Structure 1
Amino acid sequence: MSKHEKLIVLAVSLGVILNPLNTTMITVALPAIQQDFQLNATDISWLIASYFIISAIFTPLIGKLSDSYGRRLIFVIGLLLVVVSSILAPLSNTMIVLLIMRGIQAIGTSALFPAGVGIIRNVIQHKQNRVIGTLAVFATTSAAFGPTIGGLLIQFGGWPVIFYVNLPILALGIFLTLRYIPKDEQSSGKDHSWDIFGILLFSLTIIAWMIFLLGLEQEVQIGTLTLSIIVTVVFYMHEKKRENPFINVNFFRSNLNITLIFGQYILSTVIFFAVLLSFPTFLQSAIGTTSRTAGLVMLSLSIFAMVMTPIATRWMERSGFRIPLLVSVGVGIIGVLMMFMVKGNSSLFLVGLVLAIIGISNGIQNIGLQNLLFTFIDKADSGIASGLLMTSRFIGNILASSLYGIAFATGMGNQNMMTMTMVLLFIAALLFPGMLYVTRRNKEA
């Protein structure tokens, strides 16, 4: 790879890290934000959930925009939106203003992954899977390190610092993008018609299901569940009849592999994010460590996931997808089974070992499922496919958040951890038949 291509990859990577970084970095700032704005628990839940909901809706939408109007243009617009939100969010004097700024930030960061992957697939001609693996390393690392970075920075400048930390990343990203990423080619022959009603129905579907999932912490809301199912069916029927739909449901119906890959990615994300959410608090509340020690122990999860991603990429280049992905499922099941051993009196070594094993499993699955997806997707659809992949991640995040709320509703004890572990073991086992199916024709892909 030439120096020019490496700088393009760096520019895209700097954009890709912003969504996962800002998703997890704010978690350590919530107590300070809650105190400053006099918020209740519901307000805090919506501060987090609104980011996921907006990201889930806008990532595939902006991915389609990037396919139609140019990946570089959409990438730059996304970076500029994050600049605006990062400057103005710390100046918020009300919760509403902060929510609006976080919404702008979510829209901006939602543009960066689908547009970035589209840029890579158009510009980088050799070893694209390895390059996409690099993006996965950046994304996984920034998400896992987010709480640690946020915790360190807040000590020096309070919660506004978690927004200002974006600015040097953005400055370098914008410079490299304008300097090294080629301008978009003219697309006069493209069909720019939009399925507006389909977009609205898709948005309503995501919002309805997110509200239902968030409400599981209190009770199963039959009315919300019914509404979610009805909206989903209406969305499906509408898209099924469209010649140029927003989401080609007929394509998914006739390409079960792609549908299953998105499903597998959701399940994989649930396991990873549930562990990422629960273990820091369990370490402090049940085992009795300091926040700094908890952060250091959590590095085991992020470091092993990060290290495993490039190793898995090369492994799949040599042997195909099947063996690495099936091994990742086996390793993940072992890691979740070992969670049954984690108690309030457990050693930090045991906790770190469990986190390392789960990190290894996630590192392989994350990059493996991404690269496997693109073996079924044309380059012209890279943006929308990448957007839907990230939507799958956001759905997994919401499911993990709901699981966390349900499992630990009565406290952070051994029995609560066991409850969550039993659910995660079931999810880990579900991954195995799915992996067998989606890799059956890609043994040497």
Structure 2
Amino acid sequence: MINGNNKQDKWIILAIALGVILNPLNTTMITVALPSIQKEFQLNTTDISWLIASYFIISAIFTPLIGKLSDTYGRKNIYLIGMTLVVISSILAPLSPNMPVLLAMRGIQAIGTSALLPAGIGIIRNTIQNKQNRVIGTLSVFATTSAAFGPTISGLLIQFGGWPVIFYVNLPVLAVGIVLAILFIPKDEKNTAKKYKLDVGGIILFSLLITYWMVFLLSLEDGLQIGTFLLAIVLTVLFLVFEKKKEDPFINVNFFQKNSNITVIYAQYILSTVIFFAILLSLPTYLQSIIGVGSDSAGLTMLSLSIFAMVTTPIATRWMEKAGFRIPLLFSGLTGLIGVSLLFTIQYDSPLYWVAVVLAIFGISNGVQNIGLQNLLYSFIHASESGIASGLLMTSRFIGNILASSIYGLAFATGMNDGNMDTMVIVLVVVAVVLLPGMVYVTSHERAGRREQ
């Protein structure tokens, strides 16, 4: 799938690929390690939710910010700084004596990995001329695939080194990536253009609204917190009003007003991510805590989702090229609804092969849905807007992950058991049902979207 002009191009692409997989990989590798981390630091489910969600909150803030900074201060420089931060966190996180230190190390890791995708895509756009869009699409598939394989990788390795191994596994990837980046990525050209003006107000408001929505969702266990809810709404409105007036906003909210289809696609992507990550969060812990298997068996069982998602992606791409988006995306929505509904059949005495079958069904759905929504998005926008669109797509994924973390924390606040798992599944079924009319709406406009390009 990867194409470059020459041998150096291929080494550049490999260097970037090794970087862009680190954020999604590290967001899912931790899922199998959660029981061990929870036991060692004596954490409750809310603590675990914050450990997971804080990574996404930081990523949601720094990904668009670093994307703009890399355009000003040099993409190679920012890329190597990001790699260095991940090295530091990967070495120090396993030595954490308590939860606050582990949170801090995960925060450094989130900042580092957030630099790699926007800076990496910028490097590709500046250095790779042959089939550039296909290269970027391939990197997106790598990122998605690495997220799906995270639980399997960590599950197989944790049995040898405990939860710290999920950080050490980054080091060989980083070593190769840094060497290739230094040797083959061209030096940054000096930027004499106007420097980027930091949207401090937008960053602060965005950080606060994301955090307060998380606080509100996790507080629902104790009843509706009206004050927190109203504050979250006020912060959201303030952020939207503030950013609409900015010439160079932190998040380009005006982009959504140009086409309602684009807004719905982002909403669909958020909901799709909620289902995907909620399953990745809950199933590894459920397999270890309730069904009673080891981390290696839990990881191997999760492999079913990974393999079917990965195999389905290229098949779905060809299918959409021939049939358009409507039938494949509706298929993905219905298959996802079936897969999520079948989670009700998984109980404490369920055989692992049945869990694998259910995960396979969902893997097929996710493989079609993920690539379908991304390709559908790009069919509605001009090439000049692809940078904004891809950045907002990443932000949508982070928001979906944060919501999934909140659902996880709320559903399992009293512990991991069959009843609480059913509660979470009910929420996911509702989300899966809501996805279907959205699929009908955006695919009814796909032809118009193609004509506008």
TM (norm. structure 2) is: 0.87
Picking from 276, 283, 286, the partner of 1:282 is 286
Other structure's SS at 2:446 match? coil
1-side partners of 2:113 and 2:100: how far apart?
20
**CA deviation vs aligned residue, 1:340-395 (integer Å, no higher than 9, x gap):** 43344444333222111111111122222223333445556555543332222222
- 1:15: how far off? 0.8
Query: Following superposition of structure 1 onto structure 2, how do residues 103-114 of structure 1 map, counting pairs within 5 Å?
Result: 103-114=107-118
1-side partners of 2:325 and 2:11: how far apart?
28
Picking from 192, 205, 215, the partner of 2:196 is 192
Contact 1:129–1:371 at 8 Å: present in 2 too?
no
2-side partners of 1:168 and 1:46: how far apart?
28
Q: Do residues 338 (structure 1) and 366 (structure 2) align?
A: no
CA RMSD of aligned residues (A): 2.8
Residue 396 of structure 2 is matched in structure 1 by: 392
- 1:250: how far off? 2.3
Residue 155 of structure 1 is matched in structure 2 by: 159
Residue 258 of structure 1 is matched in structure 2 by: 262
Query: Following superposition of structure 1 onto structure 2, how do residues 404-423 of structure 1 map, counting pairs within 5 Å?
Result: 404-410=408-414, 412-423=416-427
Counterpart residue identity of residue 331, structure 2: V
Which structure 1 segments of 5+ residues have no match? none
- 1:318: how far off? 4.2
Q: Do residues 362 (structure 1) and 366 (structure 2) align?
A: yes
Residue 352 of structure 1 is matched in structure 2 by: 356
What is the aligned length?
445
2-side partners of 1:185 and 1:379: how far apart?
24
- 1:107: how far off? 0.4
**CA deviation vs aligned residue, 1:64-114 (integer Å, no higher than 9, x gap):** 223444433322221121112222323334443332222111101111222
Change (3 A) 1:153 1:336: closer
Residue 102 of structure 2 is matched in structure 1 by: 98
Other structure's SS at 2:214 match? helix
Contact 2:23–2:110 at 8 Å: present in 1 too?
yes
Query: Following superposition of structure 1 onto structure 2, how do residues 45-56 of structure 1 map, counting pairs within 5 Å?
Result: 45-56=49-60
Other structure's SS at 1:244 match? coil
Q: Do residues 118 (structure 1) and 122 (structure 2) align?
A: yes
2-side partners of 1:182 and 1:442: how far apart?
39
Contact 1:61–1:387 at 8 Å: present in 2 too?
no
- 1:228: how far off? 0.8
1-side partners of 2:158 and 2:301: how far apart?
19
Other structure's SS at 2:58 match? helix
Residue 182 of structure 2 is matched in structure 1 by: 178
2-side partners of 1:123 and 1:315: how far apart?
31
Counterpart residue identity of residue 179, structure 1: L
Other structure's SS at 2:196 match? coil
Query: Following superposition of structure 1 onto structure 2, how do residues 66-105 of structure 1 map, counting pairs within 5 Å?
Result: 66-105=70-109
Other structure's SS at 1:216 match? helix
Counterpart residue identity of residue 217, structure 2: L
Residue 245 of structure 2 is matched in structure 1 by: 241
Other structure's SS at 2:148 match? helix
Counterpart residue identity of residue 372, structure 1: L
Change (3 A) 1:218 1:78: farther
1-side partners of 2:314 and 2:278: how far apart?
24
TM (norm. structure 1) is: 0.89
| Residue identity (%) | 70
Change (3 A) 1:256 1:77: farther
